[in-house]
Amino acid sequence: MTEAAVSKSERESSPTEATASSEATEAQASREVKAPAASRLEPVLSRRGYAIFGALALFSMAIVPILNAAVPADSALHLPDYLVTLFGKFFCYAIVAIAMDLLWGYTGILSLGHGVFFALGGYAMGMYLLRAIGDAGVYRSNLPDFMVFLDWKELPWFWKPMDDFFVACIAVLVVPGMLAYLFGFFAFRSRIRGVYFSIITQALTFALMLLFFRNETGFGGNNGLTDFKHIYGYSLHERSTKLGLYVLSAAGMFVTFLICRFVTTSKAGRVLRAIRDAENRIMFSGYNPTSYKLFVFTLSAVLCGIAGALYVPQVGIINPSEMQPSNSIEMAIWVAVGGRGSLIGAPLGAFAVNGAKSWFTVALPELWLYVLGALFIGVTLFFPKGIWGVLSRSGR
C-alpha cells in the first residue's frame, strides 16, 4: 500500500532532510491512489518493520533459549546460564528505556524519578515472592523473616492479599500507575514543566527511598525483600524457570515496543510531539495537554512497574537502593545514549550502557562511574541523536 510506504519513509527520514524531495514525489503518487474511507495516517510498523521486529523477537525468544538449553555445554555456541539471566535483566532495563523514551523523546517530559515506578513494581512482585516462601524461611515461621526479626506478631494488612499471585500482578500495574497518576495530576495541573518537573521527580524518588528505608514502613527496611524460592510453584533456582523469566522479559520488551509504537503512530502520538514542540498552539487548537501528559506519564510508569516485576525474580532481591536518584538518572542516560524519539534507540542504549557496565564493573570497577559520565557527555556533545542516530544515518 502506497500510504504505508509514504508514512514509513517519512518516519525513517525524520532526522535528516536528504530524502525530502523523494518523499514529496512519493506523497504525490499516494494522493492519486484513492484514499480508503478511513485510515490511520501512519501504520504501526511498515512491512519491513514487522519483518525485522519478527526476526529479532524470534532470535531473542527462541534462538537464545535453544543456545542455552539444547546446545551442549562444551559446544562453542553454548550460552551459559549467567548470560541468560543477564540478558533477562537487560530486557527489563530496555522496557524502562522504551517507556522513558515515550515520555521524554516524544512528549518532552524528562522524568528523573522513573526508578520509583520500577522499584514499586519490583516490590509488589517481591512481596508475593516473599509470601511464596511460606514457612521455609530461616526462622521456620509463617511470617516473612524480616517480620520475625523485628518481632512483629501479625502480617500487616497490605501484605495479606499479596499471597495471591494474580493480586500481586494487578498490584504491579496499579500501584505505580496510581502513584504516577496522582503525582502527574497535581504536577501537570499546576503546569510544572521542563527542568522543574525533572527536579520534583528526583525529589519523589528520593522521598520514597527514605520511606522504604524505614523498618516501620513494612517492606523490610534497607535489606529489602530477598531469599525468594518459588514463583507460581516453580523453583527460582531451576534453569527452566530462569529461562522462562528470560523469555517473559524479552516478550515484555517486544510488547512494550508495540504498545508505545501504537501510541506514537496514532494521532495521540502526533499530539504528544506537538505538546513537546508548541504547547500553546496545541492548547489553542482545542487539545488539553494535561490529560495527554497524564496519560503518557501513567502509561510509562505502568510499563516500568512491569519491568520491575520481571526484574526482581531474576536478580532475587529488591531493596530501597533501586529508588536511589542516581538509578533514575541512569535510566535517562540509557535513552540519551541510545537516541531519543525513535523507540528503537532507547532499548539499544539500555543494552549498550548496561553491557558496558557489566564488563567494567568486573574488569575495572573503580573506573565505571567515570566511564558512564564520559559516555553521557560524549554522546550529548558529539552524537546528540545517540547510537540510533548514527546507525540510521550510516544505514542510508
Instruction: Select 75 or 190, whichever has its Cβ closest to other proteins.
Output: 190
- Please provide the distance, in angstroms rounded to a whole number, between the alpha carbons at the two ends of the chain: 22
43 touches 7 (CB < 8 A): yes
CB of 15 to other proteins, least distance (A): 11
- Closest distance between other proteins and the C-beta of residue 338, in Å? 19
Shorter beta-carbon distance to other proteins: residue 10 or 163: 10
Phi-psi region of 318 (alpha: psi -120 to 50; beta: other; left: phi over 0): beta
**Closest distance to other proteins from the beta carbon of 272 (Å):** 9
Kindly tell me which of 6 and 61 has the beta carbon lying closer to other proteins.
6
Measured CA to CA, the distance from residue 194 to residue 112 in angstroms comes to 11
- CB burial readout 291-316, b (16+ within 10 A) else e: ebbbbbbbbbbbbbbbbbbbbbbbeb
Rounded least distance, CB 36 to other proteins, Å = 7
* Residue 131 or 340 having the CB closest to other proteins: 340
Residues of the shown chain interacting with other proteins in the complex, contacts defined by CB under 8 A: 6, 10, 14, 17, 20, 23-24, 27, 31, 35-41, 189, 262-263, 266-268, 270-271, 273-274, 276-278, 280-292, 294-295
CB of 181 to other proteins, least distance (A): 9
Gap between the Cα atoms of 341 and 98, Å rounded? 10
Compute the least distance from the CB of residue 392 to other proteins, in Å.
Answer: 16
> Is residue 235 classed as helix, strand or coil in its secondary structure?
strand
Whether 246 contacts 85, CB under 8 Å: yes
> What values do phi and psi take at 167, rounded to 5?
-60, -45
How many Å apart are CA 335 and CA 99, to the nearest integer? Answer: 10
Min. distance of Cβ 31 from other proteins in angstroms? 7
In the structure grid, which three cell numbers stand for residue 305, read together?
A: 512497574
**Pick 12 or 163: Cβ nearer other proteins:** 12
By beta-carbon proximity to other proteins, the closer residue of 6 and 302 is 6
Give min distance, CB of 83 to other proteins, in A.
Answer: 38
Which burial class, exposed, middle or buried, applies to 318 when counting CB atoms under 10 A from its CB (0-12, 13-18, 19+)? Answer: buried
* Alpha-carbon gap, residue 146 to 224, rounded angstroms: 9
- Residue among 13 and 321 whose Cβ is closer to other proteins: 13
Q: Please, what is the minimum distance in Å from the beta carbon of residue 315 to other proteins?
A: 34
CA distance 143 to 152: 9
Nearer to other proteins, 5 or 167 (CB): 5
Q: Please name every residue paired with 226 in a beta bridge, in sequence order, or none if there are none.
A: 317
Closer of 269 and 308 to other proteins (Cβ): 269
**CA–CA separation, 388 and 12 (whole Å):** 11
Cα gap 9→18, rounded to integer Å: 11
Least Cβ distance, residue 119 to other proteins (angstroms) = 25
Give the closest residue to 113 by CA, choosing from 174, 190, 198: 198
What is the DSSP annotation of 99-115?
Answer: HHHIIIIIT----S-HH
- Three-class DSSP category at 138: coil
Nearer to other proteins, 141 or 291 (CB): 291
Distance, in Å, from the CA atom of 186 to the CA atom of 350, rounded to the nearest integer, reads 30
Residue 24 vs 62, nearer CB to other proteins: 24
CB of 134 to other proteins, least distance (A): 42
